[in-house]
Amino acid sequence: MAGASEELKAEMLELNLAYQEKFGHVFLICATGRTGEQMRDAVKERIGNPPEQEREIVRAELGKINRIRLTRLLEEEETA
């Protein structure tokens, strides 16, 4: 999102607020390797999910984030 247009950033803000209103927490996605447009499309798609389904998706996304972080930590230790 760092290089995203102001229009895309504004759209993401609006979508994030709507998502948070519906689910009671911020939109969570493993952003590694995704474009701003892909993240926008994901929140648009996921906002229609029922809460139970969204909780499962959030758990899976957290798992992806944790695996990436742990892999990076191990790689740092190996090069130290």
- Residue 1 domain-assigned? no
- Is 42 within the bounds of a domain? yes
The count of structural domains within the chain is 1
- Residue 1's pLDDT is 82
Q: How many CB atoms lie within 10 A of CB 58?
A: 17
Specify the pTM: 0.86
Residue 74: inside a domain: yes
Structural domain span for residue 74: 6-79
Query: Does 68 reside within a domain?
Result: yes
pLDDT at site 59 = 98
Question: Per residue in 18-33, pLDDT tens?
Answer: 999 999 999 999 999 9
Domain-embedded: residue 22: yes
Question: How is residue 24 annotated by DSSP?
Answer: S
73 domain-assigned: yes
CATH of the domain at 61: 1.10.3330.10
Distance CA 53, CA 11 (A): 24
